[in-house]
Amino acid sequence: MTKKDLTIGMLGFGTVGSGVATMIRDNEKELTQRLGVTVKIGKIVVRDLDKDRGTDFDGDKLCTSVSEVINDPSIDVIVEVMGGIEEAREAIEQALSAGKPVITANKDLMALHGHSLLRLAHDNSCDLYYEASVAGGIPIIRTLEDGLASDRISGIMGIVNGTTNYILTKMKEENWSYEEALSKAQALGFAESDPTSDVEGLDAARKMAILASLAFSMEVELEDVAVNGMTAITTEDLQLAEQFGYSVKMLGFAERDQDGIDVSVEPVFLTSSHPLASVRNEYNAVYIYGDAVGETMFYGPGAGSMPTATSVVSDILAACRNLLLGVGGMRSHDAMNPRLIKGEAEQHAQFFHRLLVRDEIGVFSELTSIYSRHHASLGSIIQRPGEKAGEAEVILITHSLSRKNHQSIISDLQSSGSVKEIISQYRVEGGVRA
């Protein structure tokens, strides 16, 4: 392909889109040096032409028609940063069907329709890049596709949502309540007015589905991810975790062995010596276990206009380079492995339980009977006085057991006359893999 310049059509011009346009304009010399041709913005789709955006990208570059941009023969590459699912999916399908490479930052879309969109890209000999869909400015997608392509990835553990990490940091360091920390996160723009997607783990689940699909070369669907939110976490939980040598983190897991894969998002008691335990505020970090490389961690800003734009522009460069070389769409996205998702009986972890029990003879015997009945051995048992007479607090940390047996234990504890309340329960991650 012989061209003096490559032209970008942008679908959307919000926080990320304006960052992308700014980077392309301000770094024109660097981009030209890397590609040998000039990269420029051709047209930008917006919803309201009259809106004051505080930029100089107004005028004849703006339009309201997605089809006008995609069907423009002068547009070489499409960048989708409009958000949403159905409208974005239709636009990307239209662009790929027209043989134009697409870059997207849309994690919701890729988690739900990524597999079919990647197949469509391959069928039309064009590229679909989505680095910015996970962990903002951290190049984790490219790391899995290229940097660690020669290794066999056995596990991923990560903080992939900055909102929840900010909330937990402030609860721990400032002794704020969950509500106070969430309110501050919203005031700073780290959390939406409706924070459900973040605090209930849905945002992180989408990202873990994307990472697991790549890492394990398997079509992992969003419904394969077990999700548990963080709204029940209290400052007392964080203080108690610290006493036991743990930090509470909202973590995503993707693990593989010969029996299949296990993907989850949940609050975790993470040993304080683990590198992820020191990740503060709105930052993200992804910890990868490779059979050959061992353990590696990737750390950086997980959101924001310019960090996310950095990933988008990197994808633009990759797509443009492939166009110039005539190798667009030649990357294989076919899943090498059949879907093999573990059931609860095959998923194993350690657990922390904090119980309020009757302070009576025979209670400990009943508790140990419940745990042993479901094949759970206990690594630690501590009893503390309750706040009221006749009550005691019991803290137990199990050895590894299946999630199915763990749920059976919780059910039996809830129906036990000796247990007044299950105050809290957490997965425990020691950071050491067998």
Q: How far apart are the first and last CA of the chain?
A: 51
Which residue, 297, 270, 291, 279, is CA-closest to 432?
A: 270
Residues 6 or more apart in contact with residue 122 via CB below 8 angstroms: 329, 331, 332, 333, 334
Q: For residue 330, give Cα distances in angstroms to 122, 218, 327.
A: 7, 19, 6
Contact 352, 268 (CB under 8 A): no
Residue 265: alpha-carbon gap to chain centroid: 9
Quick one: DSSP state of residue 133?
A: G
Half-sphere exposure of 283 (CA within 13 A, CB side): 14
Per the residue annotation, which of 100, 207, 249, 342 is the catalytic one?
A: 207
- The answer to whether residue 249 is catalytic is no
How many C-beta atoms lie closer than 10 Å to residue 47's C-beta?
10
Distance CA 126, CA 328 (A): 5
How many C-beta atoms lie closer than 10 Å to residue 165's C-beta?
26
Q: What residues act catalytically?
A: 207
